[in-house]
Structure 1
């Protein structure tokens, strides 16, 4: 969940693929003939890459803001689109529909993330020196990608979905995992948090898991009544440290 920065939405997502905004560009790309619209920013050639996956609102100005914040730290960022060009749901029923379709079709979810990486590669991004991260639904998608055995150096979730479908595990996971969660999250509870810890330990997947006291679901979303400044700043700091440790 996130609030909407109306001006930025208009600026970024009515733009063409070559329109620059806040140092980045809206990027039109295809995955198996379907149209998608991401956002790419890079402060320098050969910068390490962060692949950013949106929450259930789709790719909006929130992810663009986070991408620009990462670019200021020296990282290239490709903010993926898993819903399709122009699909930015605002009603809860529509958000549930679009996320539900991908939860039911995990192969499609994975292929769309691979398609976003391909689009990043086409922009000159260093996909062999990359970390995937996501918020809420995006966090669940990142863990799905981790379980697929994707060749990424790290996987990071902020208040993301933590459950795995039956029959999936972390035996193929190749990168380090960083899980940033809130103990007051009633959507994804500390029971889910503990289950994930056990699943990662069982398969020997390198991981770090941090829970922030009093932080509800979506605690990083600026302007929301769920926003928790302390948890947001601490989790962002640890994320920055993780990137420094993981990417070269």
Structure 2
């Protein structure tokens, strides 16, 4: 059995309330709201997708269920902003119970654009008292529907790193305008493509309090280095990642050591690429839990307590 949280919509607000436990069924897969389950649960199911969704629910519970909330109400809404007269649509999560002057976390999406995964992570992290801005690097309405479209859209920025940097820095400037934030405390995290974008921010010398890459691409682009890096950096990576293998991990560590960077790497043995993405074949709930805990500790040390 599992305890679930129900988030009734109140305009742009949702307010979690604990409701009676119920057995997880196929309806669980259709829910769009944040679900949390207890970790000590045994179910006998045959549907692989349901197993993954169930494991993710357990993970979410362990990550967020017991987070101390000053007020059980949160803001969660799209946020449209402009870069060079082009609209971009991000997503903001904020627990107003933590008051004003909240530290900001920029969340950078995977190669398939800003979707429910990033929104889920935004909601999870905002329960901790951070204002989270899930940014849009592709443009409003540009949401790849398949692998080929994801390759095309991400390739446009991989092939034009100055444009990627421009959009990243413009989104950071936008985040500083959000209500209830402290514009002087800001960190950035990213997943897969977003993890690669975090490293582009690192190489740009962006003035941030911290940078975290989840299973990102680690290769250093030709002609680039980390001499301008001034922020603490955390790399969360699978040791069996075929996309960014251990040779790239070693090369990155050597490049960071060469400039005496302030960095840490958490490497998860036997774990493949997109270990934190619950719909992925590579999903690993243990690495997901460990990396999320590492993220929270990193933000507490470098962002909240600053």
Give the TM-score normalised by the residue count of structure 1: 0.90
Distance 2:81 2:102 in 1: 21
- In the alignment, which residue of structure 2 is the partner of 1:144? 200
- Cα shift at 1:226: 1.4
Q: CA deviation at 1:225?
A: 2.2
Paired residue secondary structure (1:89): coil
* 1:23 to partner: Cα distance: 2.6
Unaligned runs of 5+ in 2: 1-28, 34-72
Shift of 1:6: 7.2
The structure 2 residue matched to 1:31, chosen from 45, 63, 83, is 83
- Partner of residue 153 from structure 1, selected from 209, 217, 236: 209
Q: Which residue of 2 aligns with 1:84?
A: 139
Note the 1:1-248 alignment, pairs <5 A: 8=32, 23-43=75-95, 44-124=99-179, 125-247=181-303, 248=305
Distance of 1:87 and 1:61 partners within structure 2: 14
Aligned-pair CA distance for 1:7: 6.2
- 1 CA distance for matches of 2:149 and 2:201? 24
Structure 2: distance between partners of 1:42 and 1:91? 30
Distance in 1 (alpha carbons) for counterparts of 2:290 and 2:134: 22
| Change in CA separation of 1:146 and 1:190 when aligned onto 2, cut-off 3 Å | same
Cα deviations across residues 8-33 of structure 1 (Å, max 9, x unaligned)? 49xxxxxxxxxxx9631100111111
User: In the superposition, relative to structure 1, how do residues 143 and 6 fare at CA in structure 2: closer, same or farther (>3 Å)?
Assistant: farther
Q: Secondary structure, in 3 states, of the residue corresponding to 1:245? A: helix
Gaps of 5+ in 1: 10-20
User: How many residues end up aligned between the 2 structures?
Assistant: 233
Separation in 1, partners of 2:122, 2:142 = 20
Give, in whole Å, the separation in 2 of the partners of 1:70 and 1:196: 27
Runs of 4+ aligned residues of structure 1 deviating over 6 Å after TM superposition are none
CA contact (8 A) 1:39 1:80 kept: yes
1:223 CA drift (Å): 3.4
Scaled by the length of structure 2, the TM-score of the pair is 0.73
Q: Does the 8 Å contact 2:75/2:92 carry over to 1?
A: no
Question: What corresponds to 1:13 in structure 2?
Answer: none
Confirm or deny: 8 A CA contact 2:192 2:274 kept in the other structure: yes
Q: What's the counterpart of residue 59 of structure 2?
A: none
Distance 2:105 2:111 in 1: 19
1:174 Cα deviation from its structure 2 partner: 1.1
